[in-house]
Structure 1
């Protein structure tokens, strides 16, 4: 066993394998377990508890039992706990990064970046916990004084995706705890280990029993449905695909639950003829290939002015062709494996459809033979209207280029989707940039930048990319309800 594999083995041994319910690590009912695998090798990295519906209700029982005391906990106490968790995440940064790389495959450099990004939600909401406020004043008639206050929504259920195992947990848990809400979280079956390690960090930070509960399972629908249907639950937050989000919203409607939904994306990356080409190429590489293209914010459609499309394609192709593919723990690797065989098949099908409609593959374009689920970083140009690659979220390292002639055409093409999460625009014309802010139908936009996520900014989309916002000043209000009280003047 090499030193690297010894380090991996020691880390994996330190990760809890049970469910975290009521402040204790427990087995699933019936002792059920499942294997977590490394997508770069398909090797089993750890076997953990496989929760059933009864375990989900046990977790909700614990959250409900802890709700009243946690809501009554002083804001400063909640703040201090989140700050301790932030400090511990920084101390355990290398462990968290390596664990993410082992369970989902992203290059270690990117995993370290996620630890920094994910940790910032703990720091940001530790500061917001003590700034929850209301207002007080005389009503217009002068007959009473109005008191407007904010209260925790209550027990919350989180369903998180596999692609950002730490950040998706902290982005939901931190504002909930800051607001005074207790939590049940169900991480993705493919990447549950990071959430389990993070729960142990919260425990070390002094988290009271039952405030956060973690259930890992291979039966997501069976476990989630009874929790969502339980009248004691008050909030549901989900990050994932739009089809699943629609089903969850329908389930939540029965109990009139507060919902936050961060769903699919089909991000346009618009490059105007006056763009700084070097800047645009750098932005394209960041917006497309971060996390191996497996991000809801990944640029999906590169809409490039016809006058510069050839030069843009040549420059990105040179950069993409030079990218190193391999296991994320290896030095210099920029592209790790896709999450599973289905992701590889989807990327292959989208490229094949585009080529059948006349597109040209400039580099890559196919799965890489051998161990693991790797797909070659790819550039496809001359993508025709109607191609599936322009309609579906790619979730892989495939950069697809189409062209436009006028600003009006660029706007029409960018908005020609049911999704509206994020857009990217490159232009040196400030007035045009402001017009694009006004006209692009997305909840977020990067103007001459390829990465825009920040804990201090509201993250979320419009149309079928979801409802609600995570992060920023807006994020904590997803976990607060407004109460108005009238006190007569007398």
Structure 2
């Protein structure tokens, strides 16, 4: 048995420590979750709705406590942490209202007395989740999964173990309050050295039906491989290097202001944040000046201070990786117009950074930068802007800015991504499906598409006395 610890990236002080689960405890958790599923799969909509409403109520009641825990464990500015909890509560209520509609039987006219398509739960679903949005990543998976009649096992990032256990408390308290099985949601504590082996064993377990992962490409490939070997469904939400394209007729001041919001949310630690800013040459100087000016004014500091806009990165090694990407790009010809290095003093901080004169051969263009670093790339015309934006192995989101919406859409359609936003910052919203393509993964979360990912699409045919099933011979 090992020990998981979480440490504040702002102070270096330990937040908490917990013993990991043994192989026997994990086996029991899987079996208990499956037992919970066997009764939950036939539960009525009144009970499922009540569960999600109760989850939302508990998230709201504990919002300050849960936000402070996020801030302690991974350094999220507390104002953003509060907003994250609120978004989780809203999403739970959204599925409480919409799940019956999303999963309603679809009647199909055939020679049968009656035939329809239904969506039925698949079983126990394992979720492997990252540290950057400790509650949102969990709720955007678990709310639709439980609403569909499944049970959930959570293997969270070790650095946010406190959040993982708090999430379990929220769901189990809600389940107990409405009379649902408590084991519908279980957090598994796995030693870091054993994550790969244990995750594979859980995926291969005959009582586990599917797996979803949000994380790195390497982790996604490992999970997808394990699931494929046992022919189980997987959904992957991986990295992103989203383009933010500003055409020459855009409102430059608005685009620059929204560029700051897009890039520096969660201190830049977001898969769907804009990372590559492809700007028309005619307005590039003005955009870069406005952008850098606003970035330089961002308040960096104690993440518990409500006025702080940029907190520390979640881990010290991220600072090292980001500095390598920045230094390498500067050596290749990029120009620093804001930030460029970690500030003096304690904590895993990195100054909000804007690099101009970036070209496709540089690290900040080719690689995902997971921190407060923005790369500005010039484009001579719309064709080059589209080519530069699409020059990436990723395909999560893209945004295009122009006063001419049709022109923006024409450029956007040449960029491969799971989401295209015009004159708006890319964001996840429970009302719309979320996910990527290329090396950003596959499958969808949220909305109608997301809740159906972990369902069995089942055809039901009721025979009529004078009807024949498809494919039967007719005399």
Q: Give the equivalent residue in structure 1 for 2:33.
A: 63
Deviation of 1:145 (Å): 3.5
Q: Give the equivalent residue in structure 1 for 2:129.
A: 160
Q: Cα–Cα, structure 1 residues 405 and 230, in superposed 2: closer, same or farther, change >3 Å? A: same
Per-residue deviation, residues 292-318 of structure 1 (Å, max 9, x unmatched): 000001111111111111111111111
Q: Does 1:133 align with 2:104?
A: yes
Deviation of 1:242 (Å): 1.4
Q: Give the equivalent residue in structure 1 for 2:473.
A: none
Q: Does 1:215 align with 2:215?
A: no
- Structure 2 SS opposite 1:41: coil
- Structure 2 SS opposite 1:307: helix
**Stretch deviating more after TM superposition (75-84 or 448-457):** 448-457
Deviation of 1:259 (Å): 1.1
Deviation of 1:266 (Å): 0.9
Q: Cα–Cα, structure 1 residues 305 and 56, in superposed 2: closer, same or farther, change >3 Å? A: same
Q: Does 1:481 align with 2:452?
A: no
Q: Give the equivalent residue in structure 2 for 1:203.
A: 172
Structure 2 CA distance for aligned equivalents of residues 429 and 382 of structure 1: 26
What is the TM-score when the length of structure 2 is the normalising length? 0.94
The equivalent position to 1:351 in structure 2, one of 304, 308, 326, is 326
- Within a 5 Å distance, the mapping from 1:123-272 to structure 2 comes to 123-131=93-101, 132-139=103-110, 142=111, 145-207=114-176, 208-217=181-190, 218=192, 219-272=194-247
- Does structure 2 retain, via aligned residues, the 8 Å contact 1:265–1:420? yes
Q: Does 1:467 align with 2:438?
A: no
Aligned length, in residue pairs: 458
- Structure 1 SS opposite 2:453: helix
Q: Which runs of 4+ in 1 moved over 4 A?
A: none
Deviation of 1:191 (Å): 1.2
The equivalent position to 2:309 in structure 1, one of 327, 334, 337, is 334
Q: Give the equivalent residue in structure 1 for 2:76.
A: 106
Structure 2 CA distance for aligned equivalents of residues 187 and 126 of structure 1: 24
- Does structure 1 retain, via aligned residues, the 8 Å contact 2:168–2:187? yes
Deviation of 1:424 (Å): 1.3
Structure 2 CA distance for aligned equivalents of residues 249 and 48 of structure 1: 29
The equivalent position to 2:21 in structure 1, one of 51, 54, 62, is 51
- Structure 1 SS opposite 2:445: coil
Structure 2 CA distance for aligned equivalents of residues 363 and 342 of structure 1: 22
Deviation of 1:113 (Å): 1.3
Q: Does 1:393 align with 2:368?
A: yes
Structure 2 CA distance for aligned equivalents of residues 416 and 462 of structure 1: 14
- Structure 2 SS opposite 1:464: helix
**Stretch deviating more after TM superposition (115-124 or 233-242):** 115-124
- Does structure 1 retain, via aligned residues, the 8 Å contact 2:120–2:456? yes
Q: Does 1:412 align with 2:387?
A: yes
Deviation of 1:52 (Å): 4.1
Deviation of 1:351 (Å): 0.7
- Structure 1 SS opposite 2:55: helix
Deviation of 1:231 (Å): 2.1
Q: Cα–Cα, structure 1 residues 452 and 191, in superposed 2: closer, same or farther, change >3 Å? A: same
**Stretch deviating more after TM superposition (421-430 or 437-446):** 437-446
Structure 2 CA distance for aligned equivalents of residues 264 and 331 of structure 1: 29
- Structure 1 SS opposite 2:461: strand
- Structure 2 SS opposite 1:192: helix
- Does structure 2 retain, via aligned residues, the 8 Å contact 1:107–1:335? yes
Deviation of 1:323 (Å): 1.5
What is the TM-score when the length of structure 1 is the normalising length? 0.91
Per-residue deviation, residues 47-98 of structure 1 (Å, max 9, x unmatched): 1132344433222111112111010111210111101110221121111111
Please, which runs of 5 or more residues in structure 1 have no aligned partner? Answer: 1-29
Structure 2 CA distance for aligned equivalents of residues 364 and 403 of structure 1: 20
